[in-house]
Structure 1
């Protein structure tokens, strides 16, 4: 099913690209005054504007629907693959750590002030 939607999606994208490239820009009407308007008689007296506009709108709607369908399918496949590799939680293991589980240190920390070397005097520093 996802392969069919993907093929329709790609073909629709290519068709939209083709239709957009076939459309004339807004500056194309200036050429009609010099005799270039005869090329639009295939699509009728109003030109190809309405045909290409409607076809692009229909293909854009199909592209949106296939994009949404592919996103839903990808989410379903991700949910299935994510739960397949998850470890099972063992309920027999206690979630609370008891005081007896924490090790006790017998010695107090050493005094760190006596172990550090003294800082040199300002007079002894190189200039």
Structure 2
């Protein structure tokens, strides 16, 4: 379930970025408005949203919903065996198995 949600989350995020990149900004028509004599429409209402803006809104809602769901699942996710917690016990086993040699003299060269 978690892996499926991660794949869907990835697809929604890629689709959201793609839709945002192909949309034309609101300021793109400003330069044309000055020369055409339609300066009243420069900052006027843009009308109803078209297909791209509506689909971007739907994908954004899906992105946020999936973020919350995946965050909730990963917060309650219990890891079975964490290797970092077992390092001390493995090191103690190695120390216990290492042969202890006694030094009979000093090995300092003259």
What TM-score, normalized by structure 2, do the two folds share? 0.53
Quick check: 1:4 aligned with 2:17?
no
- 1:12–1:50 Cα change, 3 Å: same
Structure 1, residues 66-113: CA drift from partner, whole Å, max 9, x if none? Answer: 11111111111148879xx8xxxxxxxxxxxxxxxxxxxxxxxxxxxx
Change in CA separation of 1:51 and 1:17 when aligned onto 2, cut-off 3 Å: same
Runs of 5+ in structure 1 lacking a partner?
35-45, 86-127
Q: For the aligned residues, what is the CA RMSD? A: 2.9
Report the equivalent of 1:74.
74
Partner of 1:60: 60
Matches within 5 A, 1:77-88: 77-78=77-78
Measure, in 1, the Cα distance between the counterparts of 2:8 and 2:62: 9
What is the match of residue 20 of structure 1?
A: 20
CA distance in 2, matches of 1:12, 1:25: 21
Higher Rg of the two aligned structures: 1
Displacement of 1:29:
2.0
What is the TM-score with the length of structure 1 in the denominator?
A: 0.46
- State the distance in 2 between where 1:28 and 1:80 align: 54
C-alpha distance in 2 between matches for 1:62 and 1:31: 35
Structure 2 unaligned blocks of 5 or more? 36-45, 86-110
Are 1:51 and 2:84 matched, yes or no? no
Higher relative contact order (CA 8 A, sep 6+): 2
